[in-house]
Amino acid sequence: MQKKTLVLGASPTPTRYAYKAVRRLLSYGHDVVAIGKVEAEIEAVKIVKEMIDIPDLHTVTLYLNPRNQEPYLDYIIDLEPKRIIFNPGTYNPKLEKMAKDAGIKTIEDCTLVMLDTDDY
């Protein structure tokens, strides 16, 4: 099943995990939206800097440390995703509580591993 996914903290640098996640999500047929601090492109996905509206969002996968997540907390909750994935180094108890209060599932895992093991 295709899951529209926001990669928050997307990077145009091929060695970054956020870059690899965008490419891997695409290779598995998921619709990908990317927000980062630099406007760029990964394959056909444009990385935007703005907090855009994303209808029918299934998953937010985080590639920002908790301090850098701060400006996005309300935005993430307002998008009403079905789940938030905290990749290694991104776990944020404040966001987890906000998500649980809003009925959003949270997972501490690695998006790349989840995709490869059919757990996505």
Measured CA distances, 17 to 76, 77, 94, 112, 113 (Å): 20, 23, 23, 8, 11
Q: Tens place of pLDDT for every residue, the chain, 120 residues?
A: 899 999 999 999 999 999 999 999 999 999 999 999 999 999 999 999 999 999 999 999 999 999 999 999 999 999 999 999 999 999 999 999 999 999 999 999 999 999 999 999
The whole-number pLDDT of residue 111 equals: 98
Q: What is the pLDDT of residue 41?
A: 97
pLDDT of residue 1: 83
* 80 neighbors 55 (Cβ within 8 angstroms): no
